[in-house]
Structure 1
Amino acid sequence: MLVRLLYASRAVDTSPAAIDAILAESRQHNPGCGITGILCYGAGIFLQAIEGGRSAVNDLYGQILRDARHQDAELLHYEEISERRFGGWTMGQVNLSRLNTSVLLKYSEKPTLDPYAVSGKVSLALLEELMATAAIIGRA
């Protein structure tokens, strides 16, 4: 059974090297577990959708909750799915520094990434738009 999980967390270390290390680990670990997804990062906040088998997704989220690089992790959305939306990515990345702020304003009160202030469905819609408008980098 496939599921999709969407969560937000705050980065403990916001250095580019720390963010790159998280992405590199995801891209190395996820294919073997059947995990696909997308990671959006901006202003110290992660918004991530992960998809795959229920056990694999639940295990990965448990690891994220215990990961000292994340704080204030919050589950935003969880659902059983019939197909993946982010199947082309072992872990795609959105570079918010190059994003038109009007896209963020479409889904929130301010032109900043704040998934804590909107519903999980709104955050998922934002990720889908970013995917559709090719704002996602790092398909590997």
Structure 2
Amino acid sequence: MLVQLTYASRISKALGSEDIKNILKHSQTNNQADGVTGALCLSSGIFLQILEGDRNTVNRIYHKILQDSRHKDPAILDYREITARQFSEWSMGLITRTDDNKQLFLKYSSDANFDPYSMGAKTLRGFFDEVVDNVRWLRKNPD
């Protein structure tokens, strides 16, 4: 059975750009081997991650994340069975808040600060749907 799990956690200590690159690299390598796809969003000291794949594998990965000292205040925000993967092309994609995409983050936020803890499942799904749509559009229109 395919599932999609979305969770948030706060960064427990300062992470530099090299730390983020290492997290992404390890996630991509491990997820590819496990058949897991998804996206990692980083904004305002909060990780927002969506994982999709086999239920047992996704659950095992989430429990491993719970043991990672870089995360604090973890919370499952959405968990559902899916018929197809939304991020089938990404073993793990990274989305960070930049000047170019700040409107996207604001569109789904209740205030100026992006806070996934205060977002409902439908809002989170809308956010990630738009992320996927934007990536597909950029791939078709590289100029």
Give yes or no for TM over 0.5. Answer: yes
Residue 18 of structure 1 aligns to a residue whose secondary structure is: helix
CA distance in 2 between partners of 1:3 and 1:98 (Å): 32
For residues 73-84 of structure 1, the aligned pairs below 5 Å read 73-84=74-85
1-structure distance, mates of 2:121, 2:23: 22
Superposed displacement of residue 119, structure 1: 0.9
Deviation readout 1:62-110 (Å, 9 max, x if unpaired): 0001111111110000001110001110001112124432222221122
Residue 139 of structure 2: aligned partner? none
Stretches of structure 1 that go unaligned for 5 or more consecutive residues are 136-140
Q: TM-score, normalised by structure 1?
A: 0.89
Q: Secondary structure at the match of 1:134?
A: helix
Normalising by structure 2, we get a TM-score of 0.88
Task: Give yes or no for contact 2:106–2:114 (8 Å, CA) kept in 1.
Answer: no
Equivalent position SS for 1:127? helix
2:113 matched to 1:116?
Answer: no
Letter matched to residue 50 of structure 2: A
* Residues 125-136 of structure 1: pairs in structure 2 closer than 5 A: 125-134=126-135
Instruction: Mark the runs of 5 or more structure 2 residues left unpaired by the alignment.
Output: 137-143
Deviates more, 1:124-133 or 1:44-53: 124-133
Percent identity, aligned pairs only, is: 40
**Paired AA for residue 84 in structure 2:** E
1:56 aligns with 2:57: yes
Specify the structure having the higher radius of gyration (Cα).
2
Tell me the equivalent position of 1:24: 25
The question of whether the paired residues in 1 share the 8 Å contact of 2:4 and 2:53 is answered with: yes
Q: How many aligned positions are there?
A: 135
Query: 2-side partners of 1:110 and 1:20: how far apart?
Result: 29
Indicate if the aligned counterparts of 1:101 and 1:112 stay in contact, CA closer than 8 A: no
Could you say which residue in structure 2 is the equivalent of 1:5? 5
- The answer as to whether partners of 1:8 and 1:46 remain within 8 angstroms in 2 is yes
In the aligned structure 1, how far is the partner of 2:82 from the partner of 2:6? Answer: 13
Amino acid in structure 2 at the alignment position of 1:36? T
Aligned equivalents of 1:99, 1:82: Cα separation in 2:
32
Q: Which aligned runs of 4 or more in structure 1 are off by greater than 3 angstroms?
A: none
